Amino acid sequence: MRMKRAYGVLAVVTLALLFGERVEAQLAKQGTYTGLYGWSLSSTVHQLEEGHVYTQDVYKGTFFNDTNEGFLHESSWVCSGVSDVVNGKGDANGYCVITDKDNDNAFLIWKGTIDPAAGFNGDYQWTGGTGKYTGMKGNNTFSATSIGSTSEGRGLLKGEWQLP
């Protein structure tokens, strides 16, 4: 009798897991965050003239919220962009698609300046998303640097978000 009950409970739990409704984490209507974005870069480089380089870039990596949980913690970021650099200084801009653990997406547009003395700094704005990020807006900043002469680096991110 106990064995039948155990199998019955196991069957119900299995069915609930397989066919139950997807439980999404709730996101506050607004908030602030800081964190670290570790990335790897792949670029197509176009030498326009001596000292003038134009690149098409893709940054891929993971964001870690400073609270070790919450807003976009351990999310995947894929950011594409272009940069125009003359004698080591220039501008860059692009877009990112962020995917969280629930497979919801957040979208942003970014721009920044490149300066060997100051690094790669800029801002970005949330432009919306899917699922819990639908209609998201907000202003944010980043400060990024590469690691030595590798194609990897990190960005320190800080900002806020608002949902409708």
Domains in the chain (CATH in brackets) are 30-162 (2.40.350.10)
DSSP string, 66-120: TTSSSTTTTEEEEEEEEEEEETTEEEEEEEEEEE-TTS-EEEEEEEEEEETTTEE
Nearest by Cα to 35 from 84, 80, 70? 70
Terminal alpha carbon distance of the chain: 53
pLDDT of 144 reads 96
Residue found by looking up tokens 């640097």 in the block: 145
CA–chain centroid gap for 138, Å, is 14
The residues of the chain scoring below 70 in pLDDT are 1-25
Q: In this predicted model, what pLDDT tens digit does every residue of 11-43 receive, in sequence order?
A: 443 434 344 444 445 789 999 999 999 999 999
Query: Rounded to two decimals, what is the model's pTM?
Result: 0.82
pLDDT of 4 reads 52
Kindly state the tokens that stand for 60.
Answer: 């891929």
pLDDT of 13 reads 39
C-alpha 66/C-alpha 25 separation (Å) is: 18
